[in-house]
Each structure stands twice: as C-alpha cells, then as structure tokens.
Chains A and B, each alone.
Chain A
C-alpha cells in the first residue's frame, strides 16, 4: 500500500475546509453560527485553518437565549478576541421585549422554539446569505438527510422533500433574493470524530465539558444544573454531583451526566463506552418523535 492516503480525521478535515472555502467563495455575506458548544468550536477552528494566514473572513453569530452558562459567554468573548473576528449577537430577550415572540408557559417551557425567530431576524437584519452551522448527520434522524448546502426559502424554511440533489463535491449555492443557505461542513462527522479531533488538535473548549462539582437537580432522567432560571418542583432537591455536559445549550434544558472524565483522554474513552446519544439529555428533542424535524422545517439550526 502506498503512502498517498489520508486517515479518516484528515479526510473529514479536508472536506470541511473545502466546504467552508466554498461558502466564502460563493456567498456575499456568510457567517458562522456560534453556540459555544463543541461542534461550533470545531467549525470555527476549521475556518481558522481554511483561511490561514488570513483571518476568518466572516463574523461569528451567536443566538443568545438569555439562559446561558456563564462559562460559555466568557469562552465566546475570549475566542472572538483571539481570532479578531466580528461578533453578531441575536438576543431572544430582545425579541421578547419587541414582542416578536412570546415566552412559553407551563411546566416544560423553554426558549428553544423562540430562538428560531431571533435567528431568522438576525439573518435578515445582517443580510446573512449563508449561515454555517455545526450540525452533524449522526445527531438525529431528521438530520441524516440534510445536505451540506441546505437551501432555505425566503421564510427561512426547510423543505425536506424538495432538497437539491448534491453530487460529488460540487455545491450549488445559487438562490433568489431573500433566500439563504445553511451550510454544515461537519455533516459527516460523528460525536466520536469531533472528540478525537478536539483531542488531536488540542482545541480549547469550555470547562463545562469536563467533569466538575456542580449543584444539580434530578429532572426528566438527567441532571439539570441549578441556575437562577430554575425553580424547584415538588419533591426535587439540590444535590452536589461530579458531572459534565455532553452538549451545551440553553442552561434551563441542558442536562449533565455523572462522570469523572476530567481530561480529553477520559472524555474520548467515556464517549466510546457510553451507550446513549448525546441529544438524549436534551429536553427539547423528547417532546415528540418528530420534534427535531418539525423545528428544522421552521428554520431551526
């Protein structure tokens, strides 16, 4: 066997860099959707590599639910400074204030659905024509058929039955006025790939991903972090546990797992052994069997 081949992480990296460069070449005003989670951190890292020695030629866009882990915010601000890129913040709080959306009520209320409006408003306000996201096809059923270049109509909506076929590595980013694209450079990565890559490249990630002592509440089969936004329900109590988070999102619905993985090596080992999908700890996906698909159609990440 000859030496001219890439290992799987190198190949995935080369593919992602290719896709990110296509976005910058094909669109007028692209941006990177930055949630502060590991996937968007990896995408940002790939964008840095794609344009080195130049800076990333597009802004980071953060949709701020107002329900953040403080650690995520500090991490975001640091990264933006280090990269010297522009940061655009779309605020759910502001959408609420302006009456664009209404806070959900009831026992399982969250701001997840509200983010869609804020995101679409931010895209429109800043005339973003391609929003790069860190979604992966292995995350969830509805994502398995997502394209790298995913077309959105002028209402920001996704039509899963009428997607453009995507052949070889030729990406068609043509669109009408008012339409935009979502682009997913790490479509082909699995959770395992992401962690292995973070470890191999030694990419900085928020401390929340590492096991740490934290005050939590047991709710819906997961450890919900105590924050100013949660109120104890009947029979619940605050406990101190050694936990870490597998995904980072809205602090009110992102559950942690008990773990003593406090290094990247231990996390990789744990992910390899763990027998449930990472979104399993997200309250938003559990509501109905097709909830992700429904949200995606409306314009979700």
Chain B
C-alpha cells in the first residue's frame, strides 16, 4: 500500500470542507463519536442535514470565525492507499499556508464552483501548485447539482482552465465534475452525469501513478549526523546517517563528498534491519565508506559522475512567509538539506503578480505572501539542483536572524551554466 499526499485548494465556499468531509465519510474513515459530534453541531446550527464540512473544522478561532486559518492535516485510507490531506485555506492572505501544504504534496485538488467558473483564486492556487512542482493536478468542478449537471458547463470550464494552464508548468491535469454535497463522482459514480466517462475522484486518487515522483537519477545523500557507537563490537564503525534525496545508491559506488571534493567508495548501506543492496528516496539509512575521510553534518555524498552545482550564489523563486517584509541587503540564515549557512539578499529580480502571472520588474518590495525571483549570496557553498529536477536538493528556507522565524521558502531556478 502506497502513501499519497495531497493538498486541497479553493476559494471560500467552493465546497472544500464538504468535499473532504465527503471523502472521509464515504470511505468510512469517520468514527462514530466524531460523527455524533458533527450531527450535534449541525442540529445546534439548525441545519436540516449533517454538515460534513464540520468534520474538518479545527481550532477555536476557526470555529468562531467559521473559516480555516492554517494548514490542517487529515488522514484516511482505503484498501488501496493511505492518504494524507494538507487542508489549506483559500484566502489571499494565506498564500503561505498553501505553499506550505503544497511543498510535500504529490497531488493538488483544485476546486472550482461550477456556477462561477475559473476565478482569480483558481489561477493563484494553480500557479502555486505549478511553482511548487506538484506532479499531479485534479481540477474538481463542484456544485454540478446547481448547474443541472450540465455537460456544456463542464466543458466550458475545462476549456477555460486548459487555456490558462498552458502558461503553467504542470503536465498531468485531470478534470472531474462532482457534487461534494450529494456525493456525485466523489466516491460513487454519479447517476446524474452519465455523459462523464472518466474515473471518480477517489478512484483517481487510488490509482494515479506516483512511484516516479521522486528523482531516481541524480545520487544525492545529505549527511544528517554521524553514528559512532564507541562499543567493542563496533569499535571503528562510522556511519553517515541521512535520507536519500535523489538517485539510487549501492555498495561499491564511487562517490564524492561535497563541498570538500574528497572521493571514496560506498562500503555498506546499513539499517537496523540489516545491510541493504540499494538505497533510494525517501529511505533513511546509514552509509559507511571505504576510506576514513572527514565528513560532518551538512556535507553531501553524491555519485562521482553526477554532481550538483556547488555555489555561493543562489538564483531562486521565493515565497515570503512573514509579516516583516524582506529587507534588501539583510542577512538570513539559510537552510538547505541538512546544511545551514548565512546569506544576504543581493537582488530582487522581479515580483510576480500571481493572478495574471505577469512579472513586475519595478516593484521590489517583498511582503508576506509575495512571490518573487531573488538572488542571494551565501557565506559557504551550497550543493544545489534545480527545484524542477529535485524537490529536496532544490528547496531551501530562510530564517530571520533575530526572531528565528521561518520567513521564506525558496526554490532554486535552473540557471547554472555548466
């Protein structure tokens, strides 16, 4: 059974909470006590039906305001797959939450209200999904019951979206007409839309091919920590613990350690359960090398014949996550894989209007929720891949030196001249 992580996005009232509630309910992932609580709340509110959207309701502030304010994670499983939903709100001021939820997702669900069609928020969410390189996108055209389950309306929206999506960097886009409220095409096939021949939403989620979402080509192993047992049995043992961030490693592989550039060969790849013959993403293992070389946290073990770009200049897209705007010339801690360095913002190249995708070359003021292309310089070299090629070795965060808050998410742009 595989794990699929997806995010949900939509404007307020598009039916996101209802849809998630419906998925949980129809896949029988709701416990009786949870359902009872929701039934009670629905009655208290004077509703005639059970409001499934209450199932995904979270913290007190949200209950008071009646909106979702942060990323909340939900879980459900079918006999075929286990699912993790990163549920993020649709307000403009919460781009940062959507970016957060999208960063670990294999798939994004974009909700569109069939009556309204593609709106600004749809574009914004799709752009973020594309920017964060979510490999698969499902556009759910919801509330089909309110447009008489009309095929025309569906086709119209698909056409509109396809046109818009040609500007995006997403290859796998699917469209499903649904009614979250009544359950049409969510888990069960709709009896009201026999013109739709495609799979239901749940069926799509269960079968979409995700095993190739990781990079299996470029061998990358960021060292997290060193394992030294100091016991008699393992007296000289020195294991480099980490999680494979790309490629496939095998004992005997010739490797280079960056940034030092020293070379060696893999002696063994160890786990508690025994040595393994192959390690691939996202496995957590310990690597031992033939030679005794100096390696510490933040170093990266890579294949000798396939190396990342080692540089102190970073060209990247950032999403600003903090109330305090970006300060040009300011210094930030930069975290990239297991490495932390200091960095300084050199240049804001352009800002992006996330509704029109236009570049704004003149506007250099980067505030919360802004997305921009930025160049920065670091005190120590980083081992970089383009984010498009590798979401682990192409991503980074910036941390404010005075508050320690995570203020930006960065995605390395492929501009290396090698």
Contact across chains for B100 and A55 when beta carbons are under 8 A apart: no
Smallest CB-CB separation from B245: which chain A residue? A169
Known interface pairs A1-B209, A168-B104; A24-B225 also in contact (CB < 8 Å): yes
CB < 8 Å neighbour of B73 from A12, A48, A52, A145: A145
B327 interface residue, CB < 8 Å from A?
Answer: no
Contact across chains for B59 and A14 when beta carbons are under 8 A apart: no
Contact across chains for A165 and B234 when beta carbons are under 8 A apart: no
Contact across chains for A21 and B70 when beta carbons are under 8 A apart: no
Known interface pairs A1-B211, A53-B234, A160-B70; A14-B282 also in contact (CB < 8 Å): yes
Contact across chains for B100 and A142 when beta carbons are under 8 A apart: no
A287 interface residue, CB < 8 Å from B?
Answer: no
Contact across chains for B77 and A192 when beta carbons are under 8 A apart: yes
B357 interface residue, CB < 8 Å from A?
Answer: no
A187 interface residue, CB < 8 Å from B?
Answer: yes
Smallest CB-CB separation from B82: which chain A residue? A8
Contact across chains for A21 and B225 when beta carbons are under 8 A apart: yes
The interface residues of chain A lying within 8 Å CB-to-CB of B396 are: 170
Contact across chains for B271 and A161 when beta carbons are under 8 A apart: no
The interface residues of chain A lying within 8 Å CB-to-CB of B242 are: 21
Contact across chains for A277 and B73 when beta carbons are under 8 A apart: no
A-B contact count (CB 8 A): 175
A263 interface residue, CB < 8 Å from B?
Answer: no
CB < 8 Å neighbour of A174 from B100, B284, B399: B399
Contact across chains for A165 and B241 when beta carbons are under 8 A apart: no
B406 interface residue, CB < 8 Å from A?
Answer: yes
Measured CA separation A48–B272 after assembly (Å): 8
Smallest CB-CB separation from A14: which chain B residue? B284
Contact across chains for A7 and B1 when beta carbons are under 8 A apart: yes
Contact across chains for A18 and B243 when beta carbons are under 8 A apart: yes
Beta-carbon contacts under 8 Å, B239-293 to A = 239, 241-243, 248, 270-273, 278, 280, 282-284
B122 interface residue, CB < 8 Å from A?
Answer: no
Known interface pairs A4-B216, A21-B224, A167-B406; A290-B60 also in contact (CB < 8 Å): yes
The interface residues of chain A lying within 8 Å CB-to-CB of B77 are: 190, 192
In the complex, how many angstroms separate the beta carbon of B197 from the nearest chain A beta carbon?
Answer: 25
Measured CA separation A49–B214 after assembly (Å): 24
In the complex, how many angstroms separate the beta carbon of A193 from the nearest chain B beta carbon?
Answer: 7
In the complex, how many angstroms separate the beta carbon of A159 from the nearest chain B beta carbon?
Answer: 11
The contact string, 1 if C-beta is below 8 Å from chain B, for chain A 1-21, is: 110111110111111011001
Known interface pairs A8-B1, A25-B225; A165-B321 also in contact (CB < 8 Å): yes
A260 interface residue, CB < 8 Å from B?
Answer: no
Measured CA separation A293–B224 after assembly (Å): 33
Contact across chains for A165 and B284 when beta carbons are under 8 A apart: no
Smallest CB-CB separation from A12: which chain B residue? B3
Known interface pairs A53-B233, A172-B335; A161-B73 also in contact (CB < 8 Å): no
Measured CA separation A55–B33 after assembly (Å): 41
Beta-carbon contacts under 8 Å, A119-169 to B = 137-138, 141-142, 144-145, 160-161, 163-169
Most chain-B CB neighbours within 10 Å: which of A1, A4, A168, A188?
Answer: A168
Contact across chains for A145 and B211 when beta carbons are under 8 A apart: no
In the complex, how many angstroms separate the beta carbon of B374 from the nearest chain A beta carbon?
Answer: 16
Contact across chains for B237 and A53 when beta carbons are under 8 A apart: yes
| Dominant secondary structure of chain A at its interface with chain B | loop
In the complex, how many angstroms separate the beta carbon of A58 from the nearest chain B beta carbon?
Answer: 12
CB < 8 Å neighbour of A165 from B84, B97, B233, B239: B97
Known interface pairs A18-B284, A21-B284; A144-B31 also in contact (CB < 8 Å): no
Beta-carbon contacts under 8 Å, A166-204 to B = 166-170, 172, 174-176, 187-188, 190, 192-193
Measured CA separation A176–B82 after assembly (Å): 38
Contact across chains for A21 and B231 when beta carbons are under 8 A apart: no
Known interface pairs A170-B335, A172-B406; A25-B33 also in contact (CB < 8 Å): no
A107 interface residue, CB < 8 Å from B?
Answer: no
In the complex, how many angstroms separate the beta carbon of B12 from the nearest chain A beta carbon?
Answer: 18
Beta-carbon contacts under 8 Å, B276-335 to A = 278, 280, 282-284, 297, 321, 333, 335
Measured CA separation A184–B77 after assembly (Å): 21
The interface residues of chain B lying within 8 Å CB-to-CB of A53 are: 227, 229, 231, 233-234, 237, 239, 270
In the complex, how many angstroms separate the beta carbon of A154 from the nearest chain B beta carbon?
Answer: 13
In the complex, how many angstroms separate the beta carbon of B210 from the nearest chain A beta carbon?
Answer: 8
Measured CA separation A27–B270 after assembly (Å): 24
Contact across chains for B404 and A187 when beta carbons are under 8 A apart: no
In the complex, how many angstroms separate the beta carbon of B334 from the nearest chain A beta carbon?
Answer: 10
The interface residues of chain A lying within 8 Å CB-to-CB of B59 are: 141-142, 145, 160-161, 293
Contact across chains for B73 and A174 when beta carbons are under 8 A apart: no
Known interface pairs A21-B225, A168-B104, A170-B397; A187-B73 also in contact (CB < 8 Å): yes
CB < 8 Å neighbour of B397 from A11, A172, A275, A293: A172
The interface residues of chain A lying within 8 Å CB-to-CB of B405 are: 164
The interface residues of chain B lying within 8 Å CB-to-CB of A52 are: 227, 270-272
B203 interface residue, CB < 8 Å from A?
Answer: no
In the complex, how many angstroms separate the beta carbon of B249 from the nearest chain A beta carbon?
Answer: 12
B359 interface residue, CB < 8 Å from A?
Answer: no
The interface residues of chain B lying within 8 Å CB-to-CB of A6 are: 282-283
Contact across chains for A15 and B282 when beta carbons are under 8 A apart: yes
A206 interface residue, CB < 8 Å from B?
Answer: no
Smallest CB-CB separation from B99: which chain A residue? A167
A22 interface residue, CB < 8 Å from B?
Answer: yes
Contact across chains for B75 and A145 when beta carbons are under 8 A apart: no
The interface residues of chain A lying within 8 Å CB-to-CB of B391 are: 168
A267 interface residue, CB < 8 Å from B?
Answer: no
Contact across chains for B72 and A145 when beta carbons are under 8 A apart: yes
Q: Give 18 CB contacts A-B under 8 Å.
A: A4-B248, A6-B282, A14-B283, A17-B284, A25-B225, A50-B284, A144-B74, A160-B59, A164-B405, A165-B96, A165-B409, A170-B336, A174-B404, A190-B75, A190-B77, A192-B77, A276-B31, A293-B60
Closest 5 CB pairs of A and B: A49-B272, A174-B404, A17-B284, A54-B229, A8-B3
Given contacts A138-B75, A188-B84, 18 further A-B contacts (CB under 8 A): A1-B209, A4-B214, A15-B282, A15-B284, A25-B225, A52-B271, A53-B229, A54-B234, A145-B58, A160-B61, A161-B59, A165-B97, A166-B406, A170-B397, A174-B333, A190-B75, A275-B31, A277-B31
Residues of B in contact with A (beta carbons under 8 Å apart)? 1-3, 31-34, 37, 57-61, 63, 69-75, 77, 81-82, 84, 96-97, 99-100, 103-104, 209-212, 214, 216, 224-225, 227-231, 233-234, 237, 239, 241-243, 248, 270-273, 278, 280, 282-284, 297, 321, 333, 335-338, 391-392, 395-397, 399, 404-406, 409
